[in-house]
Amino acid sequence: MAYCSKCGSQVNDGDRICGNCGEPVNGANRTPETANSNDTWMGILSYLGFLALIPYLIKDQSSFVRAHAVRGINLLILEVIAWVAVGVFSWVPVLNGILSTVVGLASFAFSLIGIINVANKEDKELPFIGNIRLIKG
Ligand SMILES: [Zn+2]
């Protein structure tokens, strides 16, 4: 037998709300914001280059996956732009090497940060580029 956390009256085991005051029992009415394992995998896909299209294009994803998929697509577009810029300088021997190294490392770092956010079930923006929105959610 449970007791209402708000008013202290007895609540039957099957009841989701207190019959006396209407308070949800054991958080029954609270929808948990924690991601399930499917959300985690879909979130990780969001930061694996073109695989971000999978969580982005599948409808009915949780808001957690959706937000990460949009971040992943934004990152992907930025990376494409960066690689085009690297291509423009491909005729400059040393500069091209430096640029491609920087872009490669940055792409890797942003993907890693995104995946860590997903693994920690955190719905946060990527640093530095988080507010650059080339596509909306
Ligand atoms: Zn109550």
Both 129 and 76 in one domain: the answer is yes
Both 112 and 65 in one domain: the answer is yes
10 Å CB burial of residue 64 (0-12, 13-18, 19+) is buried
- The tokens describing 50, both together, are 């073109």
CA of 69 to the centre of ligand 1 (A): 41
CA of 3 to the centre of ligand 1 (A): 8
Full residue range of the structural domain in which residue 12 is found:
1-30
CA of 23 to the centre of ligand 1 (A): 5
CA of 9 to the centre of ligand 1 (A): 6
Which 3-state string (H, E, C) describes the chain?
CEECCCCCCEECCCCCECCCCCCEHHHCCCCCCCCCHHHHHHHHHCCCHHHHHHHHHCCCCCHHHHHHHHHHHHHHHHHHHHHHHHHHCCCCHHHHHHHHHHHHHHHHHHHHHHHHHHHCCCCCCCCCCCCCCCCCC
pLDDT string in tens for the chain (137-residue length): 678 888 988 888 778 888 889 888 765 444 454 547 889 999 999 999 999 999 999 988 899 999 999 999 999 999 999 999 999 999 998 998 999 999 999 999 999 999 999 999 999 999 999 988 888 77
Query: Residue 115 and residue 103: Cα distance in Å, rounded?
Result: 18
Domain count, the chain: 2
CA of 34 to the centre of ligand 1 (A): 26
Both 63 and 24 in one domain: the answer is no
Predicted structure pTM score: 0.71
